[in-house]
């Protein structure tokens, strides 16, 4: 699969930003957009399961090889929708929960520049350590989740109390789990008690793809995910619906990584973003030089665009505030092939196999699937 140009998220239609506003909006499930599975219309209760890293194309590829890998997912009604730009967890989960575009909520990447200090947003830390006191989570991301309501959120206990959780899931009712089986038990109880909406998050597809790539480990985790989906569907009462979506897809990169060419880096103060979506911060007013150098040395495996081109092109939504604009670099370098750009300042604890962040179809297309209670 190859894309001639970076894919544009469909913010005006079939996009993860429109899930919560549609489900929890004033007309509720009686007026869901056409991109929702038809069985979701008129649902009395909704469970939304976000499976981190479950891209549409990866799922279809694995099912084409062996439909028995995920028979429940294979049988569900629905199709692909788009996630946001960049295709990274921090940005996408915030857009899913708030219904806001990246240009509105401001958590615009895995590593974001805040006044010259690059913060890794999952750890909420920069080169000086924990950034929470310098960067209050509620100030960094102003949009309330779930249209300002308080809903049950089921996620791993290890995410409780983190700055990122406070930023994008603040003031929610947390039902944290340490064993995956607890999620099903809690969902059953919440639906029985009359909850109209339940939000669930599961991250292990993403983890195994990063650590092991595609193959038997990925397939084993896909089977586990499918069993989770089947068990959640089994506890739905009549009139309830389970919706399954994801924050992004993945591409297999392995050791196909490279540093930016010295003719590019000599013009930079630093980089932000991540391996498949690098923001380049230029020295002085040298944007044109950086663009020319990046296209010369990396144009065969990357799309190179200026910040203004990205914003004017609507990649972060129709509106980008001045505050958010300052969090971008000057030039974006987005991998168009299955490779990644290394940055010595961007350290990981292990060598990543699958990666994401760019705007290829493999990364931007995610499922929206539904099953109805009987």
Using CB atoms within 10 A of its CB, is residue 190 exposed (0-12), middle (13-18) or buried (19+)?
Answer: buried
> pLDDT tens digits for the chain (374 residues)?
689 999 999 999 999 999 999 999 998 999 999 999 999 999 999 999 999 999 999 999 999 999 999 999 999 999 999 999 999 999 999 999 999 999 999 999 999 999 999 999 999 999 999 999 999 999 999 999 999 999 999 999 999 999 999 999 999 999 999 999 999 999 999 999 999 999 999 999 999 999 999 999 999 999 999 999 999 999 999 999 999 999 999 999 999 999 999 999 999 999 999 999 999 999 999 999 999 999 999 999 999 999 999 999 999 999 999 999 999 999 999 999 999 999 999 876 568 999 999 999 999 999 999 999 98
Backbone angles phi, psi at 341, to 5 degrees: -100, 125
Please state the domain extents for the chain. Answer: 16-252+359-372, 257-354
- Half-sphere exposure for 199 (CA within 13 Å, toward CB): 22
Architecture of domain 257-354: 2-Layer Sandwich (3.30)
Q: What pTM, to 2 d.p., does this model score?
A: 0.97
In this structure, whether the domain defined by 16-252+359-372 belongs to CATH 3.40.720.10 is answered with yes
Judge whether 16-252+359-372 and 257-354 match in fold.
no
Q: Which of 22, 71, 49 is nearest to 368 (CA)?
A: 49
């Amino acid at each position: 699969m190859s894309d001639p140009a970076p894919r544009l998220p469909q913010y005006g239609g079939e996009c993860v930003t429109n899930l919560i506003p549609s489900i929890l909006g004033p007309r509720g499930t009686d007026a869901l957009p056409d991109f929702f599975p038809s069985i979701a219309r008129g649902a009395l209760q909704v469970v939304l399961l976000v499976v981190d890293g479950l891209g549409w194309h990866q799922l279809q590829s694995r099912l084409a090889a062996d439909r028995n890998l995920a028979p429940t997912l294979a049988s569900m009604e629905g199709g692909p929708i788009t996630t946001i730009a960049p295709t990274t967890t921090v940005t996408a989960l915030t857009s899913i929960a708030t219904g806001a575009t990246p240009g509105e909520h401001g958590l615009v990447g895995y590593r974001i520049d805040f006044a010259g200090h690059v913060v890794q947003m999952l750890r909420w830390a920069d080169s000086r350590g924990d950034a929470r006191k310098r960067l209050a989570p509620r100030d960094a991301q102003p949009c309330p989740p779930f249209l300002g309501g308080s809903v049950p959120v089921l996620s791993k206990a290890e995410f409780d109390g983190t700055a990122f959780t406070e930023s994008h899931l603040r003031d929610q009712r947390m039902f944290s789990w340490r064993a995956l089986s607890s999620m099903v038990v809690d969902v059953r109880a919440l639906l029985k008690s009359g909850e109209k909406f339940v939000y669930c998050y599961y991250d292990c597809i993403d983890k195994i793809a990063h650590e092991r790539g595609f193959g038997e480990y990925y397939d084993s985790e896909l089977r586990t995910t499918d069993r989770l989906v089947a068990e959640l569907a089994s506890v739905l009462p009549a009139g309830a619906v389970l919706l399954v979506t994801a924050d992004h897809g993945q591409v297999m990169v392995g050791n196909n990584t490279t540093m930016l060419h010295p003719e590019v880096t000599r013009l930079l103060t630093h980089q932000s973003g991540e391996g498949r979506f690098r923001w380049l911060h230029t020295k002085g007013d040298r944007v044109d030089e950086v663009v020319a150098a990046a296209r010369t040395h990396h144009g065969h495996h990357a799309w190179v665009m200026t910040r203004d081109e990205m914003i004017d092109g609507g990649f972060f939504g129709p509106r980008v505030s001045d505050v958010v604009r300052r969090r971008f670099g000057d030039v974006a370098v987005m991998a168009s092939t299955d490779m990644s750009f290394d940055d010595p300042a961007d350290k990981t604890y292990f060598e990543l196999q699958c990666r994401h962040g760019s705007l290829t179809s493999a990364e931007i297309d995610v499922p929206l699937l539904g099953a109805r209670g009987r």
